[in-house]
Structure formats: C-alpha cells, structure tokens
Amino acid sequence: MNEKKMVGKRSVLFSRPPIIIGAGSVAGEKEGNGAFGKCFDMVEEDPLFGGKTWEEAESKMQQLATRIALRKAGLEPQEIRYLVAGDLLGQLIATSFGIMNFNIPMFGVYGACSTMGESLAIGAMLVDGEFADYVVALTSSHFASAEKQFRYPLAYGSQRPYSATWTVTGSGAVVLASSRAKWKRKETGYVEVTGITTGTITDYGIKDSMNMGACMAPAACDAILHNFKDMGIGPDYYDCIVTGDLGTIGQRILIDMLRGYGYDIEKQHFDCGTEIYYNKEQGTNAGGSGCGCSAITLCGYILQKMKKKEWKRVLFVPTGALLSTVSFNEGNSIPGIAHAVMLEGLSGSGKGWENGLCNSVFDWRCNLCDCAGYYG
C-alpha cells in the first residue's frame, strides 16, 4: 500500500474508494413541504421532536438519522469504528447529546454549514487509510436552535431581507464502508467516494450576517477551482456540481467568479439551498441554509439520483460561513470555507466486490424505524 494518494496542492484521490452503504435523512415539516419532501426517510410535524428544547430536538434528529442509516446498512452501532460529526451549536451539543448512547468512538468537527463535507472527507480518509472498516458521517441543523444562537429570539419577529436564508431543520447520516469489509447485503446501486479537495478559509471582508451566500461563494469557488486544477479536469467531468447553501445570491456570485477563471459551471451547477424549498411560496427568501441543508439533500435526493443512474459523477461541495456571535459583535468580517467531495456511482460488481452491491440501500422510505412522526 505505497500508492501516493496526494494529488496537486490540496486533493486526495483514494486508491480503494470508500463506499456509501447506508444513508438516513430526517427533516422538519417545512422541509417536508419543500421540493424534496418525498425523498426524505422521515418528516416530523413536531418541531420539538418530542423534546422540551430546540437543542434537544436537534439531538433527536441526529439520533434518528444515524439509526436509519445503520439499519439500511444492516449494521449495529458496535460495528462502527468511528463516528465523525458536528453541528452549528456551541461545543457541538446537538451532536454530543445526540449520539452519546451509541457508544461509538467519535471525532467532533466544526465547519459551519460545510460540516457534512468535512465529515465525509475525514471519514473517507479513515476508511481508505485502513483505520476503519465502517465510519458514520453525520450532521444536523435546526431553524430554531440556530436562530436562538446566531440571530434573534423567534418571538422578536425580526424582518428578513431578500438575501437572508432559512436554516433547514434536518439531519443526514451516511455509513462509509471499506471495500475489504463484508456486510450482509450485496447487489447493485452503491456510490463511492473517489476523492476530496480540502478547502481553505476565505475572507472577502463581508460583515452582513443576513447575506451568508456572499460570504460562502468565494470559498466554494476556491474549493471547486482547486479540484479542477489538482485533478486535471473541468466542469464537464461531472454530471452535477452541488454546493451546500449559497442560495440564489451566492449561486450567482459563484458562477460569475468561476467564469473569471475560465470555467463555466452554470450547466452543471445545483445548489441545495436554492432548490430545497419553494422559496417564493414558503417565504424562505434566498433559500435554505444550515448543516442540515446539504446533508438531507445528499442523503434523500442526490444519492437517489445516482442510484437511478441519472447522475454518474457528482462533486459535492458543502459550504460554510464561519459566523461567530463574538467575532461578529466585535466588528470582524465573516470568513467562509467549503470542502469538495467526489462521488461516483458504481455499476454492477465494483472494485473488489465478488457479488456486486446493494439495491436496497437508498430506499425512498424507511419503514424500519419505530420512531415518532410520519415518513415523507
């Protein structure tokens, strides 16, 4: 195992790509009424998810998403070597309380709304490096817990400018598996993580906390640009280039910035934040945001498209605005970061597989879960 995995300045190309063998998506009612509502495994009408606080509700979402992903993968918690997860709240409290009872060794990560990309990237490196056979990558966000921490109390009823986005209430979890591991289901229909490009912090001096798309677009541009350069490819290599939550304003900025470098991604570009809601009808202004935005879109919608072979290669680029109430109130700008994860659908028996892969991993419904709520 002496293959050089490093490519270019900041990318990694995996020699034995980890496989996504299970995915779980849990969403709130507003998300269930949005464009991808029928794709999510579970849609819950109660915003508190049976709890007493918004933070407790977010922890419950993580617990449910993990449970669904594990059941789809046919695995038990004790079979998972590591869990890589995070959220938007201080000290990652949604994650620590949410996954505590699984008793899985855990790496807590924070990348703001890029956390799903960061979790996937670290998890994939752990699997490809033979440090684990199975890893769970997980994140979440909740509209009310995020508003409580970063903006205004809900009862205040602050007005939102058009540039503002709506924090998604949702949690997404995926199970990554090594090609060496043996699990219970082997048919067809998996997606592998073929490579990653790690982002750097970008800061264009933006101080408007109601325009996160403008903060994150330069970071998305930076990650996508270096993916192209490091891998020696262009936009046409991918069927879809997915960003996390730039929204309508950030999406336009990103496309214009990349054109300045000679790359036109408009034909391939898809932004989770722009697409997850019916923005005009649901009053979400520039679109959706939050860690859960890219996570549940990946787990509920994107992987389904890849399973059905509508998309073969996807560059998944969750985006994060590194907003801190402390630094913001001290007058500092809001930096951004983004991480690019290369996804590719496997057809038939893949690399190192004797009997192919599993058809039933990404079902449209999770009928296995005995939790409260209804299935979207």
Per-residue confidence of the chain (376 residues) as pLDDT tens digits? Answer: 457 789 999 999 999 999 999 999 999 999 999 999 999 999 999 999 999 999 999 999 999 999 999 999 999 999 999 999 999 998 899 999 999 999 999 999 999 999 999 999 999 999 999 999 999 999 999 999 888 777 666 666 677 767 888 899 999 999 999 988 876 655 557 999 999 999 999 999 999 888 999 999 999 999 999 999 999 999 999 999 999 999 999 999 999 999 999 999 999 999 999 999 999 899 898 999 999 999 999 999 999 999 999 999 999 999 999 988 788 778 899 999 999 999 999 864 333 322 232 333 323 223 333 333 322 2
Cα angle, residue 361 at apex, residues 117 and 301 outer, rounded to 5°:
50
Place of tokens 């007493």: 52
Domains of the chain: 6-177 (3.40.47.40), 191-345 (3.40.47.40)
Beta strands in the chain (DSSP E): 6-7, 11-13, 19-28, 42-44, 82-86, 106-108, 134-141, 166-167, 170-177, 191-197, 240-243, 269-271, 288-289, 313-317, 319-321, 336-338, 340-345
Token readout for 194 is: 């073929």
d(CA 139, CA 48): 17
What are 77's two structure tokens? 């918690």
